[in-house]
Every structure is written in C-alpha cells, then in structure tokens.
Structure 1
Amino acid sequence: MAQNLMRAVQFSKYGGGVADLKHVEVPIPSPKKNEVLIKIEAASINPIDWKIQNGIARPFLPRKFPHIPGTDIAGEIVQVGAGVDKFKAGDKVVATLGNGGALAEFAVAHSDSTVPRPPEVSAADAAALLTAGLAAHQSLTKLAGLKLDGTDPPVNVLITAASGGVGTYAVQLAKLANAHVTATCGARNMDLVRSLGADEVLDYKTPEGKALKSPSDRKYDIIIHCTTNIPWSTFEANLTSKGKVVDTTPGFGTFMSVAVKKITFAKKQLLPLLTAVKQENMDYLVKLSQAGKLKSIIDSTHPLSKAEEAWAKSIDGHATGKIIVEP
C-alpha cells in the first residue's frame, strides 16, 4: 500500500445495503484549520450509519458518494491543523465525525468534537461510548431533567431495549440519578441488564413485558424509549400524571404526536431526542468510564477487512451493546 493511501470501506448509493460496501484504497485526508488527523484504533457502528445508507437523511447526508460511513472513533492524533492548540501528535483521543469516515485507517475530526482518552479507557470502550452514550445522557438530563449526581429525589424510570447500545448506558446513568430502574430486554440479556444496575427486568416478549408493567406495580415518571412499535396508549397507562416519554429514535409519527399533545395541552409528554455533539458531555462520559462508573458493553469486534459482518449484525438489530470495527 502506498504511503499516502489508506484502506477504507465505502458505499456508493442509497439503499445498497451490505452488498454495496466496497473495500478501497483512498488518499489519507489532511486536517484543515481546527481539525486533527487521527489514526483509528477502533470505530463503532450505530444504527444511524446504515439508516443514512438507506436514505433517512436524504438529500443532506451523505454529502457526496462514494461515502465512508461511521462517526464514532478512538485513536491517536498523528497531525494537527492550523489553530489547534489543545492537542498534539501522539495524543490518545476519542472523537465523533460530522460527515462520516470511521470505517477507515485514518480520519479527520474537528477539534471541538474530540476529547482526550485516558489510558484506563480502551479504544473499543471509548469508541462505543459516543453516539449511544450521548443519546442516553441527553435523554436523561436535557429532556427528562435529571441530575446524575444523586441529588434528585427518587424517581421511577423505565428503559426499553435496555440491552442495546443506548439502553446499556441509560440504565447505568439512571442509577447515578438516584432512580429506581425498570428495564425491558430479551430473556438472554436479563442477567446482564441486572448487572448494570436495573432494579426490575422484564422479558419484552412476555405479556408483562409487552404491557411495560412494573413487577412492583410502579408508575413511571420517565420512560427512555430505545426501540420502536410501542403504542402511546401502552406508555400512557404506565405513566404518572406528569410523566415523560423520551423517544431516542423519533420518526415522523413521533413529531406528529408531539404536535397533537401540545394542541391538547396534555400533561403526559412525548419528547423526541435529537442528539447533539457536545464536547463537555463527551468528556463527562469518558471520565465516568475512567472512574469505573460507566461500562461499555461490547457485543462483538470485527476487523475492517470484514466490516460487512459488523454492518449486517447492526442491521439485524439484536446486538447486545455496541459493535466495534478495528483497522
């Protein structure tokens, strides 16, 4: 391989799925002003990555084809662009990429979307943390209004799909907020979810799980909804009078429901999450991981040469925690 080229995986059109992923050699990008070039040690795949391939953000993303997908990486800075004074070559970091580029050997990240990675946090754990961890954090704090320092009065929180990427972090963060956590997941993952701190765990395939009914007959102040196809009526029956449902994967129907509830002045709220990349949130999550207070659950690790396997596993939708790709 020529010195100025790198291995990468691209797709060339909307809707091509796994079959459209191609292994290529492309030029190593150069950092522009306020950017850093990172040698990637680990990247994680999020459902939004293949949803973008399916056209969910058409025509805005990707900005052009062919496109190298993925946004969450951890690695080592090898070059800094003009105006970057917070980082230097050799620094270990974790970063999120605004325009994709994670399924490669190198990527360019904005310095404001990059935070230091301490040696106690592995590359895989750090890469897993970003999109999913930010979604869990902002669902509980920005939308649900919880403090994660244990100073809030006790609240009852339900987390659906608690063994998935967002769910595994949401369980742990909710416990930091002094919450009683009820969680749903598949039967095979119930012990794992308990180990993350959930007080009650429901098999989502049972009648009780489908009804979201707390074993201790609690009503929920907050529901962090990390899956799809649960009707509002099911949530409403289990909420306190001013309960909130945070939808971490909002679609058109969610926004329509929000509009209707505003018109009718409903006290029970449906809140769509639009995750924001905030450096202070990223740094907070990494430091929690460093302190052993936030664990990344890794479903599987795949070499870049077999990125199609990781892509297909994510599309299948039954991963426990996060899927990692390593160059």
Structure 2
Amino acid sequence: MEGIGEDDIARVTALARSIREAVSTVIEGKPEAIELATAALLAEAHLLIEDVPGVGKTMLAKSLAKTIDATVRRIQFTPDLLPSDITGVSVYNQSSGNFEFKPGSVFANLVIGDEINRASPKTQSALLEAMEERRVTVDGVSHELPRPFLVIATQNPIEMEGTYPLPEAQRDRFGLRIDIGYPSPAAEVAMLEHHGDTDPLGPLAPVARAATVMEAIGIVRRVYVHPQVKQYLVNVVSATRAAPELRLGASPRASLQLMRAAKAWAAMDGRGYVIPEDIADLAIPTLAHRVLLSPAAQLAGRNPADAVAAAIATVAVPAKR
C-alpha cells in the first residue's frame, strides 16, 4: 500500500460494517442498496435515492443519518418551498443596525432532501453551490458548510403526478444513484414481524461520530489507484460519450466521482488499492443518472442503466498482474 496503512483500512472496513449492520436492522432484505449508501457516505458523495412511493426511500435516508452522531436536517420539498428556506437569509437587526445571517436547512452534516423533485427547478437549484463547493453564498457573502457534508435526496419517478425533473446540472452533482425496489416476500414478512407495531428507527443508535466519519473519508481518499486502473476508468466513462444510444454521456465530474466511490468500495472490502472490478461494480450507480438517452433509444424502451451497461461491455478490462 502506498501512503496508507493496513490499520487505517481496517478501521474504515470496521466502520462500514457497523453502519451496514445498523441500517439493515431497519431496511429488510436490501443489502446492495445499503452497501451503496455506505459507500456514498465514506466517499462523501451525495446520494440520490429514486423509486416509487412506499418502498423505503426516506427510511433508508433517515436510518443512514441516524447511525452517525452528527447534525441532521430534513427538508420536505414542496412546490411552495423557497430557495432561502434552504440556503438561509440575511435579516436586519434593529438593535445592532446590522444584517445578520440566519442559516437555512442546508447547514448540517447530513441533509435529507425528501421528494426533491416536488419543488420547482429554481428551488432545486439552490442546492447546486452547496453540493459542489460545500458552501452557500447569500447577499454576496460565502458561508462554509460543516464537514462532513452529505445530501441524501429521495425522489419519485418523473412520471408521478406533481413532479419536476431534476436539471442535468443537479443530477450530475449526485455521486451515486440507487433504487430500492419492492422487497422479496420473505423480507416483507420480516418487516411486518419486526416493525408492524413499532417505530423501526426508535432502537437505532449512532455507531460513529461525525469526526470519525471525516477521518474515514480522509483515509479513503488515500486509497491507491494504479495508472492502468485510472485509464480503465476513463475508458469506461468515455464509452458513454460514444455510445449510439446516448445523446449525452457522463461528464469529467463523473470520472472523479467514480474514482472516489471506487476508493470507498475498495476500503470497505479491506483493500488499500482499487481494482477494475470496483470500477465495474459502481459504474451504473455512478453514471446512469448522468446520461441522456437518444430519441431512438427512448422509443425502443431502453433505460439509461441498460445503455451504460452496454457501453461498459465494449471496454477491455486491464489484465491482472
């Protein structure tokens, strides 16, 4: 390992395991979604959870937030929500004769944006600077956000009534996108048995502090990526830009997010280095929400995940040494 010790990786692996085990007591039968959500946290990558109502999107976001002893704010996105409700506002103080900044809901370590696509595009865009630069600017003054800073947003499919599609610029700022899907019959029965008459979040206790998570994020950033693996990552992202089924491929920002997520994925697996399989595992959750289908692909009923998978299949995997 270069620049990173086995003890460091072991701490990240243990933390990830504790978070997954805690969240799995609330979310039944969805280990892959929990694994991806944990990777997003350790990569400090914003997470978009998209699925139909009632499958546990908000519950996953809340349970992930509750595993960390940190500041958490929940924003219920509605059509009448204003940008200043998110970022904050300057208020004139008559006694001092000065304007004072009143922080908005985005000033927290973990921000849960519930049903983000029910607000207007103008309000959605209030998150852009916060998600990219981890600060907000109000009346020409910049205000730094606390660290770690993570937005966990849920949204219903855009075909649902009363929704606005997220602008491409905002979708591109989400590091990973996951869907939950309906539980298996066995998992649904277990959910009824365990949570039928109790609050599933009630017994959930934090397993780490914000400072511990920030330390783990720092370790993850030092995970080694071999030049050949970096080239493979770039080839994967470039394949989406050349895919005939896509009229918009993944951006350079997507390359950075994929590498950061792959580092977290490797550390969660107990490794201080990234392998090509990490890139392949995370390519669809990291890239599919950033691309746009061509009109022909839309008419053929294709979805972005299928198009990204087809593009990745054309890329040669580096040989193992």
Greater strand proportion: 1
Q: Normalised by the size of structure 2, how large is the TM-score?
A: 0.27
Larger RCO (CA within 8 A; separation ≥ 6) = 2
Q: Normalised by the size of structure 1, how large is the TM-score?
A: 0.26
Greater helix proportion: 2
